[in-house]
Amino acid sequence: MMRRVYPEGLGDNGISFEGFWDWLRADPDYDADLMFVAALGGDVVGLCHCWRSDFIKDLAVDPSFRNRGLGTFLLTHALTAFARRGAPSVDLKTELDNVKAQSLYRRLGFEIVERVNG
């Protein structure tokens, strides 16, 4: 699914999924309990993974499953998990031109605190 969402590779350097997975599991902020996956028939169609530091690292939905509420469901599930952990707030970031994601985040109560170019 990550290859379908990020066909050019993960991150700014085009890292492979295998490299990404190794990097992710080695990060001290990674917590498997904060990895939320949506699957259909054994295929992953969406995921939301978060850091222990009350940060949404990635929210990704397979292109063929977009516009069905899956992103909203995954993000809401993550926010509920953070609330249960007592998180006073949750942060995330997105590209400046990703207006669709920004619309979702605003609908769920996120506010812009900083815009950074480049």
Could you read off the pLDDT of 54-94 as tens digits, one per residue? 999 989 999 899 999 999 999 999 999 999 999 999 999 99
With cut-offs at 50, 70 and 90, classify the pLDDT of residue 115.
Answer: confident
pLDDT in tens, 28-56: 999 999 999 999 998 889 999 999 999 99
Question: What is the C-alpha separation between 106 and 98, in angstroms, rounded?
Answer: 12
Helices (H), the chain: 2-5, 17-26, 70-84, 99-107
Look up the pTM and report it: 0.83
Best CA proximity match to 104, nearest among 69, 78, 77, 64: 69
Question: What is the C-alpha separation between 17 and 24, in angstroms, rounded?
Answer: 10
Residue 10 has pLDDT above 70, yes or no: no
Task: Give the residue-averaged pLDDT of 100-111.
Answer: 93
pLDDT at 104: 94
Task: Give the residue-averaged pLDDT of 4-28.
Answer: 73
Its CATH class, for the domain covering 2-88, is alpha beta
What is the separation of C-alpha 14 from the centre of its chain, rounded to a whole number of angstroms? 17
pLDDT at 9: 58
From residue 20, alpha-carbon distances to 28, 31, 100, 106 in Å are 14, 15, 25, 28
